């Protein structure tokens, strides 16, 4: 099936053969003894996820180009459906440029809560198949279905069942790659988008990989690609035939060894079931550069409260607070401080964040972006926080938990810190 067919929305359901990609017309034997016998890794990737969720929420958007992103002067595209993509729109593109390319598009602001809800529903479907699910983001995940084969059949049957359930239960489409390794499965899902299923049997992995550009390999960024092109290596096949020692000399021991293995289709990394986030953060890009320290301090407080709310919602606490400060020329610095005790309290996080900003040497410097992050995150039940001798409990933890309950019942704008409320009144 050609790329043009894919762009028109035709779904590819195929298997890689020695002659290319053949249609996957018939189901394989239910005992898993077909070409997918050793292909127990699936990579599922939702199609234009944010835009697809918006189309479900807004009936008027069906059949129309849809772009998700902010509308400010510095906003960028978060997601675009396949109609908008045919006009050249893609994620991370400045929104102003996207609207010029596709003036008929409907533009919706991102709704993180709606996307998380849809993502959780899809992940629940995956976990009903196997506990070995490794989410990579809201819209993609790896699965190891080796333990589900006796119950549900071969990997291709399982992949087809998952796609059907996502379509029927969530009214969304996804693409699934099936292979013996994570790396090849991910390439498979990319190759069959949108709304496709592609099996890459072990016997045809080399034929599938060899013609691909070296940029298709994970870990090959612009700098690495320039190095490889300088060596005359432009395809994965050429890379696979190169002496690994040369790659180690040019790219370093670790990167050279890994790229040589990937080019040969070797990827021993297992599917690792979901683990808690190691950090929780939030950041804000100002519509115009801000050089007023009071405004920056207020934004750091707002971001700190958002991070603390996310920590409490996930039952986690953290020990290290860091700030990100980006100047108008895009140069960025980060500063961090590790606390003696873990925390999930916005006031405590904010106090550290503002102190780091004060010590950064950038007070009064125009800033384009600020961010707050808490690292060293662990489940709250593993925390052994206790008051030091003579230290008084400020009560802010209890106050912020009450605020959480109010927001959950009446909405995120129902209650906020007095400092932030006062600033909003002054802005009116």
Antiparallel, parallel or unpaired: β 77-80 and 279-290? unpaired
Taking all residues of the chain, what is their mean pLDDT, rounded to a whole number?
A: 84
Tokens representing 319 are 């020990």
Q: Tell me yes or no: is domain 279-380+394-427 CATH 3.90.79.10.
A: no
Q: Is 124 annotated as a binding residue?
A: no
Tokens representing 281 are 């953060």
Which fold does the domain 1-209 belong to in CATH?
A: Alpha-Beta Plaits (3.30.70)
253 is an active site residue: no
Q: Where in the chain is the domain with CATH 3.30.70.270?
A: 1-209
Catalytic residue among 7, 54, 60, 140: 140
CATH no. of 213-263: 1.10.150.20
Whether residue 117 has pLDDT greater than 70: yes
Predicted pLDDT of residue 1: 38
Whether residue 283 has pLDDT greater than 90: no
Among the ranges given (136-140, 148-152, 245-249, 343-347), the one the predictor scored with the smallest mean pLDDT: 148-152
Among the ranges given (209-213, 226-230, 264-268, 397-401), the one the predictor scored with the smallest mean pLDDT: 397-401
Q: Where in the chain is the domain with CATH 1.10.150.20?
A: 213-263
Predicted pLDDT of residue 401: 64
CB atoms within 10 A of CB 152: 17
Band (pLDDT 50/70/90 cuts) for residue 163 is very high
Greater confidence, 218 or 355? 355
Band (pLDDT 50/70/90 cuts) for residue 112 is confident
Q: Where in the chain is the domain with CATH 3.30.1490.100?
A: 279-380+394-427
Among the ranges given (16-20, 261-265, 292-296, 369-373), the one the predictor scored with the smallest mean pLDDT: 16-20
Among the ranges given (13-17, 54-58, 90-94), the one the predictor scored with the smallest mean pLDDT: 13-17
Band (pLDDT 50/70/90 cuts) for residue 22 is confident
Q: Is 139 annotated as a binding residue?
A: yes
Whether residue 419 has pLDDT greater than 90: no
Greater confidence, 408 or 361? 361
Q: What is the pTM of this model?
A: 0.66
Greater confidence, 67 or 315? 67
Tokens representing 87 are 């006009």
Band (pLDDT 50/70/90 cuts) for residue 278 is confident
User: 392 near 305, Cβ under 8 Å?
Assistant: no
Predicted pLDDT of residue 274: 66
Query: Of all residues in the chain, what percent carry a pLDDT higher than 70?
Result: 83
Band (pLDDT 50/70/90 cuts) for residue 428 is very low
* DSSP summary character for residue 412: T
Whether residue 409 has pLDDT greater than 70: no
Whether residue 3 has pLDDT greater than 80: no
Whether residue 132 has pLDDT greater than 80: yes
Q: CA 213, CA 287: separation in Å to the nearest integer?
A: 38
Q: CA 29, CA 377: separation in Å to the nearest integer?
A: 46
For the chain, helix (H) and strand (E) counts, in that order, are 17, 15
Greater confidence, 404 or 391? 404
Whether residue 425 has pLDDT greater than 80: no
Greater confidence, 226 or 73? 226
Antiparallel, parallel or unpaired: β 367-375 and 279-290? antiparallel
């Amino acid at each position: 099936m050609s790329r043009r067919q894919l762009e028109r929305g035709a779904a590819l359901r195929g298997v890689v053969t020695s002659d290319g990609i053949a249609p996957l017309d018939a189901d394989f034997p239910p005992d898993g003894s077909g070409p997918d016998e050793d292909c127990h890794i699936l990579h599922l990737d939702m199609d234009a996820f944010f835009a697809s969720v918006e189309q479900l929420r807004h009936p008027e958007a069906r059949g129309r180009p849809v772009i998700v992103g902010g509308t400010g002067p510095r906003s960028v595209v978060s997601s675009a459906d396949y109609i908008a993509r045919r006009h050249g729109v893609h994620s991370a593109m400045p929104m102003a440029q996207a609207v010029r390319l596709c003036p008929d598009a409907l533009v919706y602001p991102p709704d993180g809560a709606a996307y998380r809800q849809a993502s959780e529903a899809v992940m629940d479907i995956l976990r009903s198949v196997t506990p070995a699910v490794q989410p990579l983001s809201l819209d993609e995940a790896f699965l190891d279905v080796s333990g589900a084969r006796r119950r549900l059949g071969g990997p291709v049957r399982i992949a087809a069942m998952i796609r059907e359930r996502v379509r029927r239960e969530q009214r969304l489409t996804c693409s699934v790659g099936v292979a013996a390794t994570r790396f090849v499965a991910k390439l498979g899902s990319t190759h069959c988008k949108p709304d496709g299923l592609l099996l890459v049997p072990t016997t045809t992995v080399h034929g599938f990989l060899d013609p691909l550009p070296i940029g298709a390999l994970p870990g090959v960024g612009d700098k690495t690609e320039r190095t490889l092109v300088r060596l005359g290596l432009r395809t994965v096949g050429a890379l696979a035939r190169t002496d690994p020692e040369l790659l180690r000399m040019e790219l370093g021991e670790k990167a050279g060894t890994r790229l040589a293995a990937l080019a040969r289709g070797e990827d021993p990394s297992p599917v690792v079931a979901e683990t808690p986030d190691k950090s929780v953060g939030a950041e804000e890009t100002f519509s115009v550069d801000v050089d007023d320290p009071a405004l920056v301090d207020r934004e750091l407080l707002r971001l700190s409260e958002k991070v603390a709310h996310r920590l409490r919602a996930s039952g986690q606490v953290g020990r290290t607070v860091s700030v990100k400060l980006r100047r108008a020329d895009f140069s960025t610095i980060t500063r961090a401080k590790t606390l003696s005790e873990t925390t999930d309290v916005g006031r405590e996080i904010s106090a550290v964040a503002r102190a780091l900003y004060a010590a950064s040497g950038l007070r009064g410097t125009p800033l384009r972006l600020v961010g707050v992050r808490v690292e060293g995150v662990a489940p709250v039940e593993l925390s052994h926080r206790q008051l030091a001798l003579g230290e008084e409990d400020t009560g802010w933890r209890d106050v912020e938990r009450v605020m959480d309950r109010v927001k959950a019942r009446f909405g995120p704008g129902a209650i906020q810190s007095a400092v932030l409320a006062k600033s909003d009144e002054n802005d009116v």
